[in-house]
Chain A
Amino acid sequence: MTEPSFDPGGFFQFDLAKGSVRARGGGRVLVVAENVLAPLINTAVSQGDLTAVRSLGSQLGALVSSSLGASPAGLEPAQVIGHAGAVMSLYGWGRLRLEQWGDVLVLNVDGLPPLDEDNLAVAALLGGLFSTLCSTEVACVPIGRSASYMMVDPRIAEQVWTWAKEGESLASISSKLTATQR
């Protein structure tokens, strides 16, 4: 295997004298308990503003991009998801996997505590991550309560979200979509 794998060594640095924690790249982070974060996210969802979570996703995407060292477009899917999953795991945002349903890519994130009812926070995080990583706008639409997120063009995200809210499964929704020439 010639592709470089993600190296988590020394990703976080704890400066006890200054009371700060910094991630690779120098950005400062705060360690927050999930039972503190969940109410904050619920408040943001109820106000319809998940900009902060999407911004966090963008920062993670930048980290993934720097660790890959190359544009993800030409890389193998396993390598891209390996690095993205490693960064998400380091930040405590669950385990990331990639699936293919017909012509559509689906991300699966498990091991997360429930943050909001419709998983909109994780959807915003993933959207920010992959939009920054791939340098194109990507919408990650949550499908029911299944911890799965369909990667689609933002222009059809609303339609996919409606199908998901109506209770349609991943298989059913993916069968309704067909790839076209862009």
Chain B
Amino acid sequence: MSTQVERLQALLERVEHNRQKPRPLQARPAPSAAAQPAARSTPEAAAPVAPVPAPAREVAATKPTAPGFAAQAAPARPPAPSPQRQVVVQEVVAPPRVSRAAEPAAAKAPPAASGPSLLVDPVLDAPSKPIAQVVSKHPPSTPLSFGDLLRRSLSARPR
């Protein structure tokens, strides 16, 4: 019985430890996952370069208007510690279309930090009038009492 308790305690500690562990960046897997279809379409571009920079270049080519990636290209950001992140910043800033699209997106997007960042959806404007309206030409029906229902039932006759 005590060994079972000890095992349970160890399991709980492990769960707690895993819960407190910092999660990996959401942006990090995205470039490699998104770049795989692009890599399939342009294998010759990916082949000669190192695996770390190549996905970042292809992400910039295939997704020039992605606000999440463009937001990471803000020039005022301090240099990130990992080399992969530096490559992403350089490649996204280069095309002019990306920089113009990045300005309003960068204004709305949260400032970058060295740690994990979240993608924030743009705030929707409040509707000027109700989105849906239910209009009925019949007045709301008043609920019938038990006596009314019974009276109607007892008055029923064959047609």
Binding site for B on A (CB under 8 A): 71-77, 79-81, 100, 103-105, 130, 134, 136, 138, 151-153, 156, 159, 176-182
Contact = CB atoms under 8 A, between A and B. Distances in A.
User: Which 8 A-B residue pairs are closest in the complex by CB-CB distance?
Assistant: A73-B147, A177-B156, A105-B153, A182-B155, A80-B146, A77-B146, A179-B152, A153-B154
B151 interface: yes
Contacts, number: 73
B154 A178 contact: no
Interface of B: 143-147, 149-159
Contact of A156 (B150, B151, B156): B156
Nearest to A79: B146
Nearest to B151: A182
Contact of A178 (B144, B149, B157): B157
Chain A contact residues: over half helix, strand or loop, or mixed?
mixed
A79 B150 CA distance: 14
Given A176-B159, A177-B159, A178-B159, A138 B147 contact: no
Given A159-B158, A176-B158, 15 more contacts: A74-B147, A75-B146, A76-B143, A77-B149, A81-B146, A104-B156, A105-B150, A105-B153, A134-B150, A151-B150, A152-B156, A153-B156, A180-B155, A180-B156, A182-B154
A138 B153 CA distance: 10
